[in-house]
Amino acid sequence: MSNQNIWVFFELSDGRPKRVCLEMMQKAKALAEGSSGKAAAVIIDPEPEEACKAAFENGADQVLIVRQKFFFESAAYILEKLAGKYEPKIVMIGATTEGRDLAASASARLHCGIASECTDVVITGSGVFWIRPSYDGRLNTNIGIEEAPMIGTFKPGIFKLEEPAAGRSGETVEEAIEVPAGILLTQLLGFTPDDELTKANIEDAEIIVAGGRGVGSKEGFGQLYELAAALGGSVGASRAAVDEGWIGKDYQIGITGKTVAPRLYIGFGISGALPHVNGIKESDIIVAVNTDPNAPIFGVANYGIVADLNVICPALTKKVKEMKG
Amino acid sequence: MKILVLLKEVPVVSEIRINRQYFTIDRSGVGKMMNPADRHAIEAALKLADTRGGEVTAITMGPESSESILREAASLGVKAAYRLTDKAFAGADTLATATILKAAIDATGPYDAVFCGASSIDGVTGQIPAKLGTMLGCGILTNACKIEITDAGLTIDRKAGTGYEKLTASFPLVCSVTEDANTPRKPSIKGRTMSKRLVIEVLDNEKLQIPAEGIKSPSKVIGLFPPPALEKGQMIPGEDPEAAVAELVELLQEQAAF
């Protein structure tokens, strides 16, 4: 019989935890409080100190540390051993490039249920229910898993990140787990930064200026790039604009593209179909500009303006530039 | 070299109608097709066979209709095909599906390389490649957007945040392929003839002998429901654009939004 503990796998980048891990940690804390379990972070890294502190400040009661270099194959093996020893109920993993491989591999090792790319999770007496978008985000699927352990993955920006509790602390447990050589069959040779992909890395953007069908053309996006540059933000797009070929697929925001949670999102000429809206709803402030007063995006925007984006966008750029001097 | 490609027949998702009152889905008359990324997996498999010599086999799991995607694969140069089907396989989740595919690979393989699409447009879990690779105990290269054939195996590039990761593995391996990886070839006239002659062997659980415990799905679809509506915000009059921009900027400044 396993306990009610909820684990969050911490993926680190230069010693710092990825934002999605902190988002999941806060969610895990809320879930654990509701089900008399403990929220724990699992950190596999030679230098876990900074991530460990962040885990506690974002809600971890306990941090499990394995001082080793992270790779999905070894991490899946370590998770299998840790889960065998501590029997968590749930393991939450970020749906990042490595996180997806880790989650799939770990669920094969543990022979356990998995719900991937979820937007929510609910724990009840009869089981755990995972909500994930389906049919291009037009409907949600409710997936039930009864047996522990189980794995759920979440994209960045699904849960709102609240202020961490500075100085909060908890219990640290170190485990030494040796990974047999036969487990490591894949090798990461290196990472090459890319300007295009850096521009399209909107998941981490603080400010996003997004364009939809209303932008009208590839050239029409020019004014959005200008506004984004003035604000120090990034450009994103709705699926309609991507399908029109006005901007690359890496810029697509929505449940079928990238989910984002910037401090400020400004959508121009975006009608606000559900898949897109579900990909932006955790943004702190949503602004929408559209000529159609009935555009559904106005139903979710904090501030809406019914007007021509070709007038508003340059005027806003001018104003921002003036203010920033 | 023995090469395998895994294929999936998917519905044309945009054609699926949703009943807004009862939140049921209507799949009647909805077209079916090969999962888009799978075409690129076939191309990667054929390219490896062209380079290193050997044959490509295709496997799909699904109803009889899915044989058409196996024939499509044959028209491109795939030489052998299996369709996995059994009452016991119905409703298989990703874990059960990977278990069934592993059994089919054990029964028809071993293979030096297994290719598949990075994810399917209907399930969009992308779970199969890494699960299968783990079960097979072989190298796992997922989401390839560029594939290089090396002496011992494959080296791939994949998109990861702000750049590209380069990964490598020796044969045997599993490699999942994105639509950026290559340009799929077109069927040849000879290929079309071969596709008609293709003998598709059906493998059920009598042949695969997977114990019931192995194909039990730990996750179950409970139901479908519409995404919740979100809160409504404040409208700024747009008749005077200058005034609208001024008001917006003031509101955003109050909240230190930029």
Tell whether omega for the bond before B172 is within 30 degrees of 0, i.e. cis.
yes
Q: How far, CA to CA in Å, does A22 sit from each of A158, A260, A279, B206?
A: 11, 15, 18, 48
Contact B134 A109 (CB under 8 A): yes
Contact B248 A305 (CB under 8 A): yes
Cβ(A269)–Cβ(A214) below 8 Å: yes
Closest Cα of chain B to A126: distance in Å?
13
Task: Give the span between the Cα atoms of B247 and B251, in whole angstroms.
Answer: 6
Q: Is B114 on the interface with A (CB under 8 A)?
A: no
pLDDT in tens, A41-94: 999 999 999 999 999 999 999 999 999 999 999 999 999 999 999 999 999 999
For residue B225, give both structure tokens.
């429901």
Residue A1, pLDDT score: 43
Cβ(A291)–Cβ(A212) below 8 Å: no
The closest alpha carbon to A72, from A153, A160, A143, A4, belongs to A153
Across the interface, of A97, A117, A316, the residue whose CB is closest to B160 is A97
pLDDT in tens, A5-28: 999 999 998 899 999 999 999 999
Alpha carbons within 13 angstroms on the beta-carbon side of residue A313 total: 27
Across the interface, of A101, A194, A303, the residue whose CB is closest to B130 is A101
Mean pLDDT computed over A207-225: 97
Q: Model pTM?
A: 0.90
CATH 3.40.50.720 fits A195-324, yes or no: no
- CATH code of the domain made up of A6-183: 3.40.50.620
Rounded-to-10 torsion of CA A77, A50, A279, B250: 180
CB pairs under 8 A between A and B: 243
The series of mean pLDDT values per 10 residues for chain B, 258 residues long, is 97 78 74 95 98 97 96 97 96 95 97 96 89 98 98 96 95 97 95 94 97 92 80 84 93 87
Residue A2, pLDDT score: 58
Amino acid in position B189: I
Mean pLDDT computed over A222-230: 96
For residue B146, give both structure tokens.
């560029």
Query: Given pLDDT bands bounded at 50, 70 and 90, which one contains residue A135?
Result: confident
The closest alpha carbon to A116, from A138, A91, A139, A136, belongs to A91
The closest alpha carbon to B61, from B30, B42, B35, B29, belongs to B35
The residue of B116, B174, B219, B248 whose CB has the most chain A CBs within 10 angstroms, and thus the best one to mutate to test that interface, is B219
The helix/strand/coil state of A64 is strand
- The angle subtended at Cα B61 by Cα B125 and Cα B36, nearest 5°, is 55
Closest Cα of chain B to A209: distance in Å?
12
pLDDT in tens, B3-57: 999 999 998 877 888 776 766 777 778 899 999 999 999 999 999 999 999 999 9
The residue of B30, B173, B175, B236 whose CB has the most chain A CBs within 10 angstroms, and thus the best one to mutate to test that interface, is B236
Residue A157, pLDDT score: 84
Q: Do domains A6-183 and A195-324 have the same CATH topology?
A: yes
Listed by number, the residues of chain B in 137-166 with a beta carbon closer than 8 Å to a beta carbon of chain A are 137-143, 155, 158-166
For residue B127, give both structure tokens.
């779970």
Residue A126, pLDDT score: 80
Residue B223, pLDDT score: 87
A74-113 burial, b at 16+ Cβ within 10 Å, e below that, comes to bbbbbbbebbeebebbbbbbbbbbbbbbbbbbbbbbbbbb
Q: Is B241 on the interface with A (CB under 8 A)?
A: yes
The helix/strand/coil state of A99 is helix
Model confidence at A107: pLDDT above 60: yes
Across the interface, of A104, A133, A299, the residue whose CB is closest to B130 is A104
Q: Is B254 on the interface with A (CB under 8 A)?
A: no
The closest alpha carbon to A203, from A48, A95, A72, A303, belongs to A95
> In A, which residues are within 8 Å of B125 by CB distance?
116-117
Cβ(A234)–Cβ(A204) below 8 Å: no
Closest Cα of chain A to B158: distance in Å?
9
The closest alpha carbon to B3, from B40, B33, B36, B41, belongs to B41
ipTM, two decimals, is 0.91
User: In terms of pLDDT, which residue wins out, A133 or B154?
Assistant: B154
Q: Is A314 on the interface with B (CB under 8 A)?
A: no
> Nearest residue of B to residue A309 by CA position?
B241
Domain-wise residue ranges, chain A: 6-183, 195-324
The helix/strand/coil state of A59 is coil
Q: How do A39-44 and A16-17 pair as beta strands?
A: unpaired
Q: How far, CA to CA in Å, does A201 sit from each of A3, A100, A260, A264, B163?
A: 38, 17, 10, 16, 9
Cβ(A288)–Cβ(A269) below 8 Å: no
Q: Is A173 on the interface with B (CB under 8 A)?
A: no
Greatest CA separation found in chain A? 63
> Nearest residue of B to residue A200 by CA position?
B162
The DSSP H or E segment spanning A197 is helix A195-199
What sign does the CA torsion over A122, A128, A132, A135 have?
negative
Q: Is A316 on the interface with B (CB under 8 A)?
A: yes
Q: Please report, in angstroms and rounded to a whole number, the separation of the first and last CA atoms in chain B.
A: 58
Kindly list the structural domains of chain B, giving each domain's residue range(s) and its CATH number in brackets, ordered by start: 2-215 (3.40.50.620)
Closest Cα of chain A to B204: distance in Å?
22
Cβ(A147)–Cβ(A165) below 8 Å: no
The closest alpha carbon to A260, from A227, A243, A238, A240, belongs to A238
A18-46 burial, b at 16+ Cβ within 10 Å, e below that, comes to bbbbbbbbbbbbebbeebebbbbbbbbbe
What sign does the CA torsion over B206, B103, A90, B116 have?
negative
Q: Find the range with the poorest average confidence among A100-114, A210-224, B5-19, B143-157.
A: B5-19
Listed by number, the residues of chain B in 25-84 with a beta carbon closer than 8 Å to a beta carbon of chain A are 25
SS3 letters across chain B: CEEEEEECEEECHHHCEEECCCCEEECCCCCEEECHHHHHHHHHHHHHHHHHCCEEEEEEECCHHHHHHHHHHHHHCCCEEEEECCHHHCCCCHHHHHHHHHHHHHHHCCCCEEEEECCCCCCCCCCHHHHHHHHHCCEEEEEECEEEECCCEEEEEEEECCEEEEEEEECCEEEEECCCCCCCCCCCHHHHHHHHHCCEEEECHHHHCCCHHHHCCCEEEEEEECCCCCCCCEEECCCCHHHHHHHHHHHHHHCCCC
Contact A197 B155 (CB under 8 A): no
The closest alpha carbon to A137, from B224, B148, B51, B128, belongs to B224
